[in-house]
Amino acid sequence: MADAPRGRALGRHRPSSALLGVVPFFAYTTVFLLIPTLVVLVGAFLDGNNGFTFGNVQALTTPAVMRALRNSVVLSAVTAVGGAVIGGILAYAVSTAKASSVTKRFITSLCGVLAQFGGVALAFAFTASFGMTGLITLWLNNMGVDTGTGFWLYGWNKGLMLVYLYFQVPLMVIVFLPAVEGLRPQWREATETLGGSTWTFWRRVAGPILLPSFVGAMLLLFTNAFSAYATAKALISQGTPLLPLQIAGTLSSEVILGQENVGKAMALAMVVVVAVVMTAYVLLDRRASRWMQR
């Protein structure tokens, strides 16, 4: 199946021995990437007896799943926009520092850590800080804010959003900073000599130039939040208000026989959403790099 397109791509005068060199790679990715993807793709349409069915896909329309899907989309969208705006401003602030300054290294290292190692450690840090004896609870109480029962943290549309922002904003800084730094000083100077003010520069030059990168980064933030599992798992102990949690739920042994493939249908839905957003991201990224290269 893979040989035909390969043969066409290679042309006529290719010694077949050279192909042997890439066999390990293709074998590996077939087993650990392509087959799992196929398992999900195909399994979504199989019933308990491996017969074709739309039942799994229909099961996606049950209230529980629809709710999880909606919640995931809302959570991802809100934290993507919030993270993009805050992270964008921060990225601009960092870009104004000298190229090799310690401040810049410090901030980018901090963002690198928080973006990658979110999940469990971050969730625990929040639980500790917002708990009954937590530091932040005490601060808030001192300022007169009633923190109530403390369950605010575990609501998917409350505390969880705040925790998500804690790795969304750093991710935005990491992804968007190169774009901001790619703004050439000559563009600013050219705007000035042509008579433009700082506002003109941002509105007519820097803004439009950065827009594809900004939106692209925001899309990346969306898929990041949409796919996130660890943080949600660490904070939400009851119920499955988010899609990744629902999918994980179908993997446990409590699932009714014949219903495991509903999880695959959910996974397929997730892949579709992510694939669409990532395609948009790639297109925007390509446009941005075309402008920045010159």
Partner 1 sequence: MSGQRAAYRRRQTAFRWVALTVAVAAFAAPLLGAFDFTTQGPGGNGRTAETWLTLVDVSKVTTDYPALREGFLASVSLAIVTPLVMLLILVPTMTWVRLRLPGLSRTVEFICLLPLTVPAIVLVVGLGPVYAWVYYLLGSSTLWLSLAYVVLVLPYAYRSLDAGLRAIDVRTLSEAARSLGASWFTVMRRIVLPNLRSAVLSASFLSVALVLGEFTIALLFSKKNLQVAMYELGKSDAKISVAVGLLALAFAFLVLFAMSFVGSSTAGSSPFARLRRSRAVRKEPAA
Partner 2 sequence: MTLAPTRGTAVRLTDLHRVYGGVAALDGLTLHIEPGEFVALLGPSGCGKTTALRCLAGLEDPDSGTVEVGGHDLTRVPANKRDMGMVFQAYSLFPHMTARQNVEFGLELRGRDRATRQARTAEMLDLVGLDTHADKYAHQLSGGQQQRVALARALAIEPQVLLLDEPLSALDAKVRAQLRDEIRRIQLEVGTTTLFVTHDQEEALAVADRVGVMSVGRLEQLAPPAELYSAPQTPFVADFVGLTNRVRARVEGTTAHLLGGSVPLLPGSASGPEALVLVRPEGVHVEHAADGTASVVSASFLGGHGRVIVRIPDGTLLTVQVANTEVTGFAPGDPVSLSPRGDAALAVAG
Q: Which residues contribute to the site for partner 2 (CB under 8 A)? A: 184, 186-187, 189-197, 200, 204-205, 208-209, 290-294
238 or 293, CB closer to partner 2? 293
Report how far residue 95's alpha carbon sits from residue 89's, in angstroms, rounded to the nearest whole number: 10
Q: Read off the amino acid at residue 125.
A: A
Integer distance in angstroms from the first to the last C-alpha of the chain?
Answer: 41
Q: Which of the listed partners (partner 1, partner 2, none) does 77 bind, with a CB threshold of 5 to 8 Å by partner kind?
A: none
Bridge partners (DSSP) of residue 52 are 46
158 or 290, CB closer to partner 2? 290
Long-range pairs, 249-258, Cβ under 8 A, ≥24: 257/48, 258/47, 258/48, 258/49
Candidates 32, 52, 146, 148; binder of partner 1 (CB under 8 A) is 32
Candidates 71, 130, 159, 201; binder of partner 1 (CB under 8 A) is 130
38 or 190, CB closer to partner 2? 190
Bridge partners (DSSP) of residue 46 are 52
Report how far residue 68's alpha carbon sits from residue 73's, in angstroms, rounded to the nearest whole number: 9
Contact letters for partner 1, residues 232-271 (x by CB under 8 A): -xx---------x--xx-xx-----------xx--x--xx
| C-alpha to C-alpha distances, 137 to 118, 143, 146, 153, nearest whole angstrom | 21, 10, 9, 11
Least gap, CB of 204 to partner 1 (angstroms): 19
Nearest CA-CA partner of 178 in 220, 147, 150: 220
Q: Which of the listed partners (partner 2, partner 1, none) does 204 bind, with a CB threshold of 5 to 8 Å by partner kind?
A: partner 2
| C-alpha to C-alpha distances, 174 to 155, 171, 210, 221, nearest whole angstrom | 28, 5, 15, 11
Judged by CB under 8 A, the chain residues 85 through 104 that form the site for partner 1 are 89-90, 93-94, 96-99, 103
Contact letters for partner 1, residues 35-64 (x by CB under 8 A): xxxxxx--x---------------------
Q: Which of the listed partners (partner 1, partner 2, none) does 270 bind, with a CB threshold of 5 to 8 Å by partner kind?
A: partner 1
Least gap, CB of 190 to partner 2 (angstroms): 5
Q: Which of the listed partners (partner 1, partner 2, none) does 275 bind, with a CB threshold of 5 to 8 Å by partner kind?
A: partner 1
Report how far residue 262's alpha carbon sits from residue 252's, in angstroms, rounded to the nearest whole number: 13
Least gap, CB of 198 to partner 2 (angstroms): 9
